[in-house]
Each structure stands twice: as C-alpha cells, then as structure tokens.
Amino acid sequence: MNEYHLYLIFLPVLIYYLIFRYMPIIGSVVLSFIDFNMFKGIADSPWVGLKHFLQFFDSIYFWRLLRNTLMINLLNLVFVFPMPILFALLMNEVRSKILKRSVQTISYLPHFVSTVIMASMAVTFLSPSIGFVNNFLPSFGGERIAFLQKPEYFWGIYTVLDIWKTMGWSAILYFAALTGINGELYEAAMVDGANRWKQMLNITLPGILPTIIIMLLLKIGHMLDIGYEVILLLYNPSTYETADVINTYVYRKGVIEASYSFSSAVGLFQSVIGLILIVAANRLARKYADSSMW
C-alpha cells in the first residue's frame, strides 16, 4: 500500500469535515456581518459589518454574561477540577481491591445519567414544598428556601451538580497516571521510614503532577466554554442575573427570538476568544511538557 492509497482512505473523512464542520462555520461567520433575512437568503441580505458586535458590546447584557461565564468557570476551576485528583489520591490509599473497585464503579455512574434527569433530580431535591433539602431546614430552625428562584444560590447549585456528575469519570485519567508510578519508590520510602502521608506527598502527588498541570492548562483554555444544558434546564428569568451565560444568551436570541445574525455575532465573539485561550493554553502545555522538569 503506497501513500496514495492512504490519501484515498483519508478522503471520506476529509469530505465529511469539509461539508459538516467547516462549511457551517463559514456560513455562521458570514451571518455575523449581515442583517439576515430568511426570504432574501444570505447572498441578498444587506451587509452591516460590525453592527451586531457593537450592539452586543454596548448592551447591558455584555458584562453580565461575561461575568457569569467567567465566574462559573472559575468556580469550576477552584472546586470541581481538584475533586477528581483528591478522589484518585484517596482511592490509591485504599488497600482493599474489592472496596476500591466498588467505589470507583459507583463513582462512574453519575456520568451516564442524562442531563435532563440530573436537572429533574435537582429540581425535586431543592423544591420548597417536597424537596428533602427543605425538609431538613425546619429541623435546624431554618425556613424553607426556593433555591432555584434565588440568583444568589445558582452558582453553588451548578458547582455541586458539576462535582457530582464529573468527579468519578474525570478521575479515570488520574487513576491511569497513578499506575505509571514505579512501585519501587514506595518500597524505598518505606525502608526510609516514610509513612503513607509522606509517601503521598513526595511520591504519588509528584508522579501525577505533569498530568495535573496539562489538564489545568487545557481547562483554562476553555474558560468561555461551559456546559450550558444544565443551565437551560434550571434557570428562569428570576435567576438570569447570575445564571445567564453567553451560550444561553445565544440560544435565546437565535432559537427563541430568531435573531440569527445577532446570535451568530455573539457566538463568533465567544469562539474567537475561546480559540485564543485554547491556543495560549496549548502553547503553555507544550512548553511545560517539553521542559526538563518532567
């Protein structure tokens, strides 16, 4: 098989990406700079240049959307990102293989729960009338709270749900990194009198540190990208102040209000900033991966 046969094998993949990936991107980019009229089509719709971008930047929603998107991702970075690492480190200290495998298997299950079911569970558990959370509050002298109607609780609710759904599944990567640590290092540490806590600090954690750094940099590269499906299912006009992010705003403008050009411009702004962050994060990840410290 020569190189031309390999090109022929790759040709269907190339055609697929050109038709279903790149052509829609080109159409969306063009849509951002015109005042689209579905009866005239893209070609005959008037060109407006940066009108939609300036309209978005001047709107009262710009800073709110940017703040909410960045804050939710920042909370994800501070609370959600470390949880799989801590979980993997704790599971690595469990000596019973049966217990370890059972706990790991159970921790994977939330990943396979659909977003709709997860949101429904959250609505039920936090219900001010039948939710078990509100059933406990009066027992401790508190009052029932409509959590999903108050904007000050939304960031915390979203963060807790994200931890519950992603912790076990995300830990798989760190479990794999732990298997690459040389077991002789632990034996040498035991001979030197190091207890399990010191072994974890001086062997286990440094052993998976390269993986942690790479994943952290890639996470930073997606600071404007967010899993907005849960937000769409949980938010309402009373929580827009803290729950509305760029993705949900694009959905409302494009799908509900049919402002196709404006929503495309907002989405293009998000994509460009996200691309810049991803490129910067990839360069940093490559720099750290190639450095002598690894």
Question: Which pLDDT value is given to residue 164?
Answer: 93
Report how far residue 62's alpha carbon sits from residue 90's, in angstroms, rounded to the nearest whole number.
Answer: 42
Strand partners, 183: none
**87 in Cβ contact with 106 (< 8 Å):** no
Question: Which pLDDT value is given to residue 279?
Answer: 82
Report how far residue 67's alpha carbon sits from residue 248's, in angstroms, rounded to the nearest whole number.
Answer: 14
Categorise residue 141: left if φ over 0, alpha if ψ from -120 to 50, beta otherwise. left
Query: Has residue 111 got a pLDDT over 60?
Result: yes
Question: Which pLDDT value is given to residue 292?
Answer: 45
Report how far residue 167's alpha carbon sits from residue 87's, in angstroms, rounded to the nearest whole number.
Answer: 8
Residue 7: pLDDT band by 50, 70, 90 thresholds?
Answer: confident
Query: Has residue 233 got a pLDDT over 70?
Result: yes
Question: Which pLDDT value is given to residue 290?
Answer: 66
Closest CA to 121 of 137, 134, 132: 132
**34 in Cβ contact with 47 (< 8 Å):** yes
Query: Has residue 141 got a pLDDT over 80?
Result: no
Question: Which pLDDT value is given to residue 72?
Answer: 93
Residue 289: pLDDT band by 50, 70, 90 thresholds?
Answer: low
Instruction: Choose which CATH entry (3.30.56.10, 2.40.30.10, 1.10.3720.10, 3.20.130.10) describes domain 52-112+166-289.
Output: 1.10.3720.10
- Mean model confidence pLDDT for the chain: 86
Question: Which pLDDT value is given to residue 227?
Answer: 77
Q: What is the average pLDDT across 32-38?
A: 86
DSSP per residue over 205-271, as a string?
A: HHHHHHHHHHHHHHHHTTTT---HHHHHHH--GGGHHHH--HHHHHHIIIIIS--HHHHHHHHHHHH
Residue 199: pLDDT band by 50, 70, 90 thresholds?
Answer: confident
Report how far residue 30's alpha carbon sits from residue 133's, in angstroms, rounded to the nearest whole number.
Answer: 49
Give the per-residue SS3 of 23-39: HHHHHHHHHCCECCCCC
Tens-place pLDDT, residues 166-189: 999 999 999 999 888 888 888 888
Q: What is the average pLDDT across 115-135?
A: 88
How far is Cα of residue 108 from the mean position of the Cα atoms in its chain?
17
Tens-place pLDDT, residues 57-91: 999 899 999 999 999 999 999 999 999 999 999 98
Segments making up each domain of the chain, as ranges: 52-112+166-289
Report how far residue 261's alpha carbon sits from residue 263's, in angstroms, rounded to the nearest whole number.
Answer: 6
Report how far residue 283's alpha carbon sits from residue 214's, in angstroms, rounded to the nearest whole number.
Answer: 11
Query: Has residue 48 got a pLDDT over 50?
Result: yes
**245 in Cβ contact with 228 (< 8 Å):** yes
